[in-house]
Homo-oligomer: A and B are copies of this chain.
Amino acid sequence: MSETRTLRDEALHLDAQDPLAAKRREFVLDDQTVYLDGNSLGALPTTVADRLEEVIRHEWGRLRIRSWTESGWWEASERVGDRIAPLIGAAPGQVVVSDSTSVNVFKAVVAAVRLAQSRDPGRDEILCDASTFPTDGYVASSAARMTGCALRALPPERIAAEAGPRTAVALVNHADYRTGQLHDLPGLTSALHQAGALTVWDLCHTAGALPVPLDAHRVDFAVGCTYKYLNGGPGAPAYLYVRRDHQPDFDSPLPGWNSHADPFGMTPDYTPAEGAGRGRVGTPDILSMLALEQALTVWDDVDLDAVRAKSLALGDLFLRAVEAYAPDGRLETVTPREHHRRGSQISLRCPDARQVMDKLIARGVVGDFRQPDVLRFGFTPLYTSYADAEQAARTLAEVLG
């Protein structure tokens, strides 16, 4: 019991000193639940419901069609993109919000292949990380089929070495959805550029959990969802980053009327817009988009270095507590312990992981299960407390014991 008391005390002490502690009050949470699934669906920011009511009752209900101009609906894709930009290390004008992550992967990979081939027609290979979130692999496969490329799935640590004169682009997850491992964005981007290849990074599991330095490392393209660490709501629209100097050459496979230079000219010929808006397609889901816009206001005063520091400290505490509490030999830690190789989730493995997670959820500790035997615990520094981390480990030990 002394170890329990010690770690519990330490957690409470860390919470008392946490510079982000006040942020928790900006989310709808309840005291009966330890919510460690914000890496799947972020909690609801407290101001979103009122904002959506205004959007529905006033902007749609009263102004109707006028809201496309008077309420700024038309520009929302770029405006919300600019709200996300600082969270992913991007200067304004390079991020657009529209469509799902999967659809944005398709845009980015096809456009990257076209750009690479416009410089060197012999580049006919797409690389991806073999442990990718499935949709990235499925969509990359379709992009390869439709551009006449081959797709090679590689362990991420081999991508740098395998990239060569035939590589057009590599699509890589910044953090692995199952293991929580953080991949080396600066090093891999640099290696791919050295090989003459372009990069598409999938930021679903890092944006909002740690600083993502896109501009600083001259990443070419990136995509990400907004419903995990960005708390945009279920299925909130995803984003696409196109580095500014690539924008004039961004040749989208989905040239919808929203990305036309003069959308209301309604001309039969497609002339793409300048800027990030070139990544738009059709009319975006405005209700979901404006919920996301409101949700992003929680980031206005947040220091991403503080987020990263807390994320790692939460994971460290959780891992120590699991080691202290859990029966020996029941769990294997999947996520690397080294800080520079870890995102913001801790994954543990046990043969009966599905049953264990069901029991945890029944006791109010909400993580999730991933095939075949992985328990995932996501640490969202804006609202996860150290006490949450310690309690989760304690409950896990009870379930296992």
Contacts and interface: CB of A to CB of B under 8 A. Distances in A.
Interface stretch (A79-87, A156-164, A278-286, A387-395): A278-286
A253 interface: yes
Nearest to A262: B371
Copies in the complex: 2
A236 to B, nearest CB: 7
A103 B103 contact: yes
Contact of A102 (B67, B153, B256): B256
A60 interface: yes
B286 A67 contact: no
Given A56-B44, A56-B48, A282-B101, A254 B106 contact: yes
User: Size class of A's contact patch?
Assistant: 35 or more
A229 interface: no
Nearest to A110: B146
Interface in A22-38: 28, 30, 35, 37
Interface string A98-110: 0111110010000
Interface centre among A139, A265, A284 (most CB of B within 10 A): A139
A57, A100, A146, A178: which has the most chain B beta carbons within 10 Å?
A100
Interface in A277-296: 281-289, 291
A282 B233 contact: no
Interface string A358-386: 00000000101011000000000000000
A69 to B, nearest CB: 11
Interface in A54-78: 56-57, 60-62, 64-68, 73
A199 B236 CA distance: 32
B233 A139 contact: no
Nearest to A267: B134
9 contacts: A35-B64, A49-B53, A68-B234, A100-B284, A103-B281, A133-B257, A134-B270, A178-B266, A285-B288
> Which 10 residue pairs spanning A and B have beta carbons closest together?
A100-B282, A102-B282, A102-B256, A234-B286, A285-B288, A135-B257, A285-B285, A44-B61, A28-B61, A138-B270
